[in-house]
Homo-oligomer: A and B are copies of this chain.
Amino acid sequence: MTKVLQQPLKPILRINFPGQDRLGRGKMELLEHIRETGSISAAGRAMDMSYRRAWLLISELNHMFQEPVVESQRGGQNGGGAALTPFGEELLRRFRGMEDSVRAAIASDLEWLEANRNPGDAVAEPQAES
């Protein structure tokens, strides 16, 4: 019997700031990579993003709030790098929490969407050879 796999519907949250600035999962993923690697360029690479673009996104983040989100660290064995400020850690924690809250708040509506969506996008697992 063919099993049918369906990818779940995915809610995406974004916060629009005045002007063109936005807070969303792209910037948050960048912060997570910076936290993990200690480097904006390594974080950019992890997301297939140029250093310039990663730097611009961090620069935007740093200007959207009253405190910086990422600070550069000078010296040390590796000659420098980047780290989240305490505010940046809080921002990241809050945004991931907001995403969790969104998923919980719309869970029954997502179920309704899942029940009514067109299953034509499901991928059938191959049947065993007979």
> B112 to A106, Cβ gap below 8 A?
no
> A11 to B13, Cβ gap below 8 A?
yes
**A4–B95 CA distance with the chains assembled, in angstroms:** 27
Interface stretch (choices A32-40, A41-49, A58-66, A75-83): A58-66
> B19 to A15, Cβ gap below 8 A?
no
**Range, interface on chain A:** 35 or more
> A12 to B10, Cβ gap below 8 A?
no
A9 close to chain B: CB less than 8 A: yes
CB-CB under 8 A for A109 and B121, given A15-B12, A16-B12: no
- Point out the residues of chain B lying under 8 angstroms from A12, CB to CB: 13-16
A23 close to chain B: CB less than 8 A: yes
A127 close to chain B: CB less than 8 A: no
A97 close to chain B: CB less than 8 A: yes
